[in-house]
Amino acid sequence: MEFDPMSRLIVISNRVSAPKGQSGAQGGLAVAFQAALREYRGIWFGWSGEPTDEFTGQINFQRSEGVTTATVDLEAQDIDEYYNGYANRTLWPLFHYRIDLAEFERGFEDGYQRVNERFADTVRPLIEQDDVVWVQDYHMIPLGHELRKRGCNNRMGFFLHIPWPPRRLLSSLPHAAELVTTLLAYDVIGFHTDEWLEAFRDYVTLDLGATMSEDGTIHLGDRSVKAIACPIGIDTKEFVEAATSTSARLTYRRMRDSADGRDLIVGVDRLDYSKGLEERFLGYERFLVDHPEQRKEVFLLQIAPPSRGEVGSYQRIRATLDALSGRINGAYADIDWVPIRYVNQGFPRHVLAGIYRAARIGLVTPLRDGMNLVAKEYVAAQDPEDPGVLILSRFAGAAEQMKDAVLVNPYSAEEMSDAIVQALAMPKDERIRRWRALMDGIEEKDVLWWRRRFTQELMGDDDSLAV
């Protein structure tokens, strides 16, 4: 592809977050995009997160800290059927292997299609001839196809941030073949791991009858699409700085003071059933039961900001965790010690960084996760002279890269308990050795690496984007 300094990057995703500076709480993914967009003269387009009485397609542009965002409001029915419905009651559970929680309703499917068409109508006029379009995640699978229908011939990529399920599981989704076929409108499709990529290839070759050439290009009808594994990273340098900032130091001190000499085990997750929080609490309880002598030597701080609260399965997991944390605390607490500090709110990044640094163990044990950036942030926040230990689920996408963590099966309370014992007893030289290897990995493959790797595939040459 010819070098074209006029090409811009148009990122499209359901949720758009303008930078919030040091004071705002935001997820790792939002920060990753802001870092990527800052590099380009680009636009980030998506839903404002707000409802409107009637969809008008009116765009609200904002520019902050070098990032331009363009957002639209959606009607209540759209939000219900597209976001709460098809995205989070159908695709999310199914793609996280929770077919038992997946709800299949035609109204959700229709709403999902309608909103994708509305997004396509709205964003189409913003796309100039040489722009490169990069669509994110499961909310927007058919968007590329809709843009093609509207005459958009630009290079278009799609990235899935959640797992791609095995084909036998995916075949339980009504109209799965139609949905997956729309994905082939993109030029490049990215996944975080080889496992998700292979599952995708299985589906398109075995169920759709696509063929694959030696370089991994998928061919179906007149479409040729490159599907790649390209693991997202964090802005490692920025996070290391956050962890040593003055405010992180204050948080670190506050945590250490309140720990009163005890070892802190920390978990930070959106309150989502895929994060394995119930299993984590049970694994921690197993540890308390099996090692009564260590009980008052440790405590678990679980930070879990509520998420997708209008969806029944999220209401249920929240109630379950309320009850379980209460039961465990009631059963094992003493007058001067509580085993679990369970906190339902989000915190700014520098506060989290200080907490991570103060924690002897980072407990990241999702039942299934596309990647999981908390695992990487925990590592980046550690003190190189005296690092903590990452306990990581084998079923997090991050486990494909982070082999020097203590890897566990999150479904096994016994394995989780053993891993906690192992981590607490781990000698300093082993902690340093493991941490160094993990840190090398996240320094090498940071968010910049991720963006370059993907845009290289998309453009043929990373430099073709205007910087």
Would you tell me which residues interact with ligand G6P (CB under 6 A)?
15, 29, 137, 161-162, 307-308
CA distance 289 to 284: 9
Question: Taking the complex as a whole, how short is the minimal distance between the CB of residue 122 and ligand G6P, in angstroms?
Answer: 19
Question: Taking the complex as a whole, how short is the minimal distance between the CB of residue 307 and ligand G6P, in angstroms?
Answer: 5
CA distance 11 to 460: 18
Question: Taking the complex as a whole, how short is the minimal distance between the CB of residue 223 and ligand G6P, in angstroms?
Answer: 25
Which of the following is catalytic: 161, 192, 269, 446? 161
- Where does residue 323 fall: left (phi above 0), alpha (psi -120 to 50 degrees), or beta otherwise? alpha
Q: Which is nearer to ligand G6P, 43 or 162 (CB)?
A: 162
Q: Which is nearer to ligand G6P, 234 or 419 (CB)?
A: 234
What Rg value do the Cα atoms of the chain yield, rounded? 22
What are the CA-CA distances from residue 287 to residues 79, 282, 298, 302 (Å)?
42, 9, 11, 16
Strands 389-393 and 67-75: unpaired
Q: Which is nearer to ligand G6P, 270 or 291 (CB)?
A: 270
Q: Which is nearer to ligand G6P, 27 or 166 (CB)?
A: 27
Question: Taking the complex as a whole, how short is the minimal distance between the CB of residue 162 and ligand G6P, in angstroms?
Answer: 5
Question: Taking the complex as a whole, how short is the minimal distance between the CB of residue 368 and ligand G6P, in angstroms?
Answer: 12
Told to judge if 161 belongs to the known catalytic residues of this protein, a careful annotator would answer yes
Q: Which is nearer to ligand G6P, 287 or 454 (CB)?
A: 454
Which of the following is catalytic: 78, 187, 272, 369? 369
CA distance 195 to 185: 22
Q: Render 102-163 in DSSP notation, one character per residue.
A: ----HHHHHHHHHHHHHHHHHHGGG--TT-EEEEESGGGTTHHHHHHHTT--S-EEEE--SP
Q: Where are the alpha helices (DSSP H) in 1-101?
A: 28-38, 76-78, 92-95
CA distance 178 to 187: 18
What residues contact residue 322 under an 8 Å CB cut-off, 6+ apart? none
Q: Which is nearer to ligand G6P, 307 or 422 (CB)?
A: 307
∠ CA(263), CA(265), CA(268), 5° rounding? 150
Question: Taking the complex as a whole, how short is the minimal distance between the CB of residue 14 and ligand G6P, in angstroms?
Answer: 6
Continuous segment of H or E residues that includes residue 278 = helix 277-290
Question: Taking the complex as a whole, how short is the minimal distance between the CB of residue 15 and ligand G6P, in angstroms?
Answer: 4
Q: Which is nearer to ligand G6P, 15 or 118 (CB)?
A: 15
- Nearest to ligand G6P by Cβ — which residue? 161
Told to judge if 219 belongs to the known catalytic residues of this protein, a careful annotator would answer no
Q: Where are the alpha helices (DSSP H) in 128-276?
A: 143-149, 167-170, 176-183, 194-202, 236-243, 246-259
What are the CA-CA distances from residue 281 to residues 103, 285, 314, 343, 410 (Å)?
27, 6, 17, 13, 11
∠ CA(6), CA(12), CA(17), 5° rounding? 105
Looking at the annotation, which residues are catalytic?
Answer: 161, 369
